[in-house]
Amino acid sequence: MLCDMCGSSGSMFKAEVEGAVLTVCQNCSRFGKILGAVKQHEVEKIRQKKAEEKPEAMDIIVDNYAEKIRKGREELGLTQKDFAKKLNEKESLIHQLESGNFHPNIELAKKLQKALGIKLIEEYEEKHEELRHEKAEGFTIGDFIKTKNK
Ligand SMILES: [Zn+2]
């Protein structure tokens, strides 16, 4: 649990600072009106809420899906026609997939993965987004007050 104002850890208090209820350390609580100590179960709740806010990783189809599907199929010794039959899909779909003209959706990719024993889906995290979020969180209310008072 970190102080909303200075970012230090330790026992926390709920305090009203400039109309906002913040979780602050003992040192920073003097800037506002103390409403009470933060209880452990509340800390847990806040931690859970923060975890939920974390952007979820997206599933994306690998770039070389066409090559992977073709290789996987060939390893099984199946023709496009046989493979289509096995998947209960159209032969033209397999052809499109293997020539890279048809980008499979996650559902189809999962089906192909299972049938071929290959990996077509990978987790993709928006790195830039995350960095931006971290920076925003690093800007504490304390900074805000300092900036405002300039
Ligand atoms: Zn503090």
Ligand 1 mean position, distance from CA 31 (Å): 10
**Residues 54-110: pLDDT tens digits?**
566 678 899 999 999 999 999 999 999 999 999 999 999 999 999 999 999 999 999
* Residue 48, domain extent: 12-57+126-149
Backbone angles phi, psi at 78, to 5 degrees: -105, 145
Question: What confidence tens digit (pLDDT) does each residue in 21-46 have?
Answer: 999 998 999 999 999 888 766 666 76
pTM for this prediction: 0.48
* 140 CA → ligand 1 middle, Å: 10
State the distance from the centre of ligand 1 to the C-alpha of 98, rounded, in angstroms. 58
Q: 62 by DSSP, 3-state: which?
A: coil
CA of 33 to the centre of ligand 1 (A): 14
d(CA 19, CA 21): 7
Q: Is residue 1 part of a domain?
A: no
CA of 139 to the centre of ligand 1 (A): 13
**Residue 118 CA to ligand 1 centre (angstroms):** 51
Q: Which residues contact 113 (CB under 8 A, 6 or more apart)?
A: 119, 120, 121
Say yes or no: 67 and 38 in one domain: no
Burial track 13-33 (b if 16+ CB lie within 10 A, e otherwise): bbbebeeeebbbbeebbebbe
CA distance 124 to 105: 15
Distance 128 CA to ligand 1 centre (A): 28
Residues 77 and 33 in one domain: no
111 and 141 fall within a common domain:
no
- Which CATH number covers residue 106? 1.10.260.40
Q: How many domains does the chain have?
A: 2
State the distance from the centre of ligand 1 to the C-alpha of 10, rounded, in angstroms.
Answer: 9
Mean pLDDT on 6-22: 89
Q: Which residues contact 47 (CB under 8 A, 6 or more apart)?
A: 1
Q: What is the pLDDT of residue 75?
A: 96
